[in-house]
Amino acid sequence: MTTPSPDGDAEMLERVLLEGRAMMRRLRDARALVHDVTGRAENPDRTVRAVADGRGEIVELHLDPRVMRLDREALGRQVTAVLRAAQRDAEAGTRAIMDAALAETAQVPAPLDERFVRDRVERIARDLL
């Protein structure tokens, strides 16, 4: 890869700075969207319902009085299954937001590496001679 002419360095650095700022803004926006994610689930007869937030924490659990007819093990299995389903739903929402944000930021400019800097110094030295 050849290094571009030094004449465009200021413009290139300005573009890299602007793209970096835009990328950070998109990631902050994604974080705000994740904060609003909720995952919801319920069992087939709607006697157990749960809501999880974007981090997967359970924020709501509703047990209809009819579930008290179940034995402890059956109730435990249903509650556990609904909680896990709500967390998976929240995780899917969070993953979709983060995947979209990462896709938008995939074109991050390559960092200036040692070769670029060395080539730039050599070009400037040749131009001075």
Half-sphere exposure of 34 (CA within 13 A, CB side): 20
Q: Which CATH class is domain 7-128?
A: alpha beta
CB 91 within 8 A of CB 57: no
Domain ranges of the chain: 7-128
Read off the pTM.
0.69
Could you tell me the strand order of the sheet in which 58-63 lies? 38-42, 48-53, 58-63
Q: Per-residue pLDDT for the chain (129 aa), expressed as one digit of tens each?
A: 455 566 677 787 788 788 888 888 888 888 899 999 999 999 999 999 999 999 999 999 999 999 999 999 999 999 999 999 999 999 999 999 989 888 877 776 666 677 777 777 777 777 776
